[in-house]
């Protein structure tokens, strides 16, 4: 079920987003999990995730701009857009990046522990962001709600920027072909 959802989200997003860097080798290399499932190394995954970070930053900036203009309808639309991009991105990271790294780094306890800590942090951030978006998308909008969004946007923006920087600096460089570990 989750895989179906992931495929639908990816399909829609891939049609809307620019393709990964041209000329990159997109052939996958497979690893087998203990349960027999295949985990594939995707040479273009880091480029895709980094591109999604730029999309998230842009969507967040559009949300903040709509808020600054006081345009409630645009805020709701931009919040939904941001939420959809974020959920798809988190799902992709969890299913493709973290599962793969858990498998290839199993023998490297220090790196595996750090990667697992990043995954748990990502899940906590995902839960917080879901609570944030649900609070605003499921509520009646008034001036107090609009002001509260402004305060929350500052905090969410800081969390998003820090998380993106951490992933690009500490997590993504760990994603290598299986024979490079």
- Strands (DSSP E) contained in 82-162 are none
pLDDT at 92: 94
The pair of structure tokens assigned to 15 is 């049609």
Q: 49, 131 in Cβ contact below 8 A?
A: no
Does some domain include residue 28?
no
Does some domain include residue 114?
yes
CB atoms within 10 A of CB 155: 11
The mean pLDDT of 17-41, rounded to a whole number, is 52
The mean pLDDT of 110-119, rounded to a whole number, is 90
CA distance 8 to 14: 10
Instruction: Output the CA torsion sign for 166, 124, 53, 138.
Output: negative
Model confidence at 88: pLDDT above 70: yes
Does some domain include residue 145?
yes
Does some domain include residue 16?
no
Q: Which domain holds residue 128?
A: 39-180
Does some domain include residue 153?
yes
Residue 38 pairs in a beta bridge with 32
CA distance 91 to 99: 11
Q: What confidence category does residue 106 fall into, taking pLDDT thresholds of 50, 70 and 90? A: confident
Q: Which of 40, 24, 55, 44 is nearest to 172 (CA)?
A: 44
Q: How many structural domains compose the chain? A: 1
Q: What confidence category does residue 18 fall into, taking pLDDT thresholds of 50, 70 and 90? A: very low
Q: What confidence category does residue 78 fall into, taking pLDDT thresholds of 50, 70 and 90? A: very high
Q: What confidence category does residue 37 fall into, taking pLDDT thresholds of 50, 70 and 90? A: low
Q: What's the pLDDT tens digit per position in 129-151?
A: 888 888 888 888 888 888 899 99
- What pTM value is reported for the model? 0.77
Does some domain include residue 149?
yes
Does some domain include residue 69?
yes
pLDDT at 130: 83
């Amino acid at each position: 079920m989750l895989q179906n959802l992931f495929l639908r989200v990816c399909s829609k997003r891939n049609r809307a987003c620019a393709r990964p860097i041209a000329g990159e080798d997109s052939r996958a290399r497979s690893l087998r999990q203990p349960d027999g499932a295949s985990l594939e190394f995707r040479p273009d995954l880091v480029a895709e995730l980094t591109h999604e970070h730029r999309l998230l930053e842009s969507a967040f900036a559009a949300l903040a701009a709509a808020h600054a203009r006081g345009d409630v309808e645009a805020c709701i639309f931009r919040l939904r857009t941001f939420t959809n991009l974020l959920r798809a991105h988190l799902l992709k990271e969890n299913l493709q990046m973290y599962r793969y790294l858990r498998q290839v780094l199993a023998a490297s306890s220090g790196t595996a522990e750090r990667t697992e800590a990043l995954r748990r942090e990502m899940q906590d951030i995902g839960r917080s962001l879901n609570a944030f978006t649900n609070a605003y998308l499921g509520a009646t909008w008034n001036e107090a709600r609009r002001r509260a969004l402004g305060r929350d946007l500052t905090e969410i923006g800081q969390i998003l920027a820090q998380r993106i920087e951490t992933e690009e600096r500490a997590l993504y460089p760990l994603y290598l072909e299986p024979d490079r570990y």
